[in-house]
Amino acid sequence: MENEKSSGLKIIARLIFLVKPLTFVMLLGIILGTLGQLCAIFVPIIGAEGIAMVIASQSNPMLLKGLSSVFGLLIAVGVLRGLFHYGEQYCNHYIAFRILALIRHQVFEKLRILCPAKLESKEKGNLITMITTDIELLEVFFAHTISPVAIAAIVSVLMSVFIGSQYLPAGFIAAIAYTVIGGMIPSANETNSAKSGLKFRTKFGRMNSFILGIIYGVDETIQFNSADQTRIDLNEMSDDLAKTKEELTAYEKSQKFLTNLCIQAFSLITLGVMLWAFYQERVGFEQVVLAVVGMMSSFGPVVALASLSNNLNQTLACGKRVLALLDEEPVVEPVEDGVELEMVEGAAGKLVSVNSVSFSYGNEEVLNKKSLGIPKGKILGIHGPSGCGKSTLLRLLMRFWETDEGQIYYYDKVDGAVDVDYINTSALRQNQSFVTQETWVSHDTIGNNIALSKPGATKEEIINAAKAAGLHEFISGLSHGYDTVIGELGSTLSSGEKQRIGIARAFLHQGKLMLLDEPTSALDSLNEGIILKSLKDEAKDRTVVLVSHRKSTMGVADSVVEF
């Protein structure tokens, strides 16, 4: 339990630290919020003062002359309450949305660094939940937690002093009440519900992953008539999530019950103490009214804290998940202070040398002391059965992973043979064009999808790349040509058309080294021939590494390495 509490405090401390650049705005919000709460509290107090004046005027009619001032003050305080509350909310939400934008930038930057090696084992639905709803829920912390806690603390101290000025023991009772309702109850509730909050967010992310998988695999679900089993699995996950939600609801109900019980109890205790003091002639009637009304109207800030604990467990769970992602170390650290690669022909006409490279996924070895040279301006074919390490070699050339043993050298114009681990990552990527087995496309125009590899590319450049990939005629036949919007994940395209978009991107990027991983696996023999001819014609000034398990694909290569 202590470790959980310590962990929660660390998460809160790290989240608060993010507010540092906006400290002035936060302080302004706290000041405005405190003044707004005091205005809200003193509306009934001023009203009670007016009633006391009316009662007292029976013995002293002159007191009625002050009623107009009381009503004027009441209106002024009511108007100021609205203005101060607006200012506080504006400041808090300004801070929240600025910081959420900052966190999103940090998360996407971290995902870029972790990708692809570290993210391949992560559930995509869980990641989507994290970068959308988890980050969005942090708004509760920044807009409705930090400032309210400070406001509640300040208002509690001021009201304890005010009530104590009417009768000192009542002031001590008020301080105890604020501590119990605004501190002890929320703290106990958050501690008890922390596990359920984290469990709920984790299960919610898993269910999103499951639903995402269902959407992607809807064709297979229909084909194999597995809809009933899918429905059963989804219902089981929903019921499990609902049970966890019920746990959180139970904590919320108990918190509200205790809070309301304590408010009633402390209000009655204050009333009893003030009435006793009145009959003992230690205080006057006006002091009784002010102390009791002040006590009963001042629970708003601490009740808000008590209610916060219901959402705080999930907010901290979201914070824990997001911060855990930001703390993850990449499998391969990006290089930023290395060599700015300018690829040239090196020893024996090679552009890249692979020397005795070994690599394993865990305990599974896929490459054992492999060596080869990639000749400049040629098409090198790498042929072999699935699982022999062909695709892995390309990823090592891209430095998506680091070799276990051996070295990969790129030849630089200035530094000669440079180990890939010492080349700036951005420079390495700039020199490479990589086409994977499965081409990702977005819900955008087909022209913009091709232009992904070269932001700012002209229409002419995009068309030339499409022609090189044998895609231009197909695009020209579409309803809006290059401005035709394709469905999410390319649902309106065939696998072969998506693959050719990937090849068009590689041509547009104009990297000196083209790495093609099964670029024709989704194409029929006719279209494969078109693509291979394009490669032969268009890749004259580039070096190509062509990976395939097909013998027919290797016909275009200048030389072939068997794996």
Least confident of 74-83, 300-309, 455-464: 300-309
Output 248 or 473, whichever has higher pLDDT. 473
Query: What does the DSSP 8-state code read for residue 62?
Result: G
Mean pLDDT (the chain, rounded):
83
Residue 159's pLDDT band, with cuts at 50, 70 and 90, is very high
Average pLDDT of span 243-268:
86
| CA pair distance 1, 535, nearest whole angstrom | 63
The pLDDT, as a whole number, for residue 2 is: 44
Residues 6+ apart with CB under 8 A from 126: 202, 205, 206, 208, 209
Q: Which of 505, 503, 516, 559 is nearest to 390 (CA)?
A: 516
| CA pair distance 209, 200, nearest whole angstrom | 14
Burial 510-528 (b: 16+ CB within 10 A, else e): bbbbbbbbbbbbbbeeebb
Say whether the peptide bond before residue 116 is cis (omega within 30 degrees of 0): yes
The pLDDT, as a whole number, for residue 1 is: 44
The pLDDT, as a whole number, for residue 359 is: 92
Least confident of 1-10, 323-332, 472-481, 503-512: 1-10
Report whether pLDDT(139) > 80. no
Average pLDDT of span 524-531:
74
The pLDDT, as a whole number, for residue 125 is: 63
Residue 261's pLDDT band, with cuts at 50, 70 and 90, is very high
Residue 325's pLDDT band, with cuts at 50, 70 and 90, is confident
Q: Which tokens is 391 given? A: 């695709």
**What's the first-to-final CA gap in the chain, in angstroms?**
55
Report whether pLDDT(4) > 60. no
The pLDDT, as a whole number, for residue 382 is: 92
Average pLDDT of span 140-169:
89
* Side-chain-facing half-sphere of 546: CA atoms under 13 Å: 28
Residue 532's pLDDT band, with cuts at 50, 70 and 90, is confident
- 542 class by beta-carbon count within 10 Å (0-12 exposed, 13-18 middle, 19+ buried): buried
Cβ atoms of 381 and 406 closer than 8 Å? no
Output 428 or 324, whichever has higher pLDDT. 428
Q: Which domains does the chain have, with CATH numbers?
A: 2-327 (1.20.1560.10)
The pLDDT, as a whole number, for residue 92 is: 87
Least confident of 113-127, 388-402, 503-517: 113-127
Least confident of 170-179, 190-199, 269-278, 462-471: 190-199
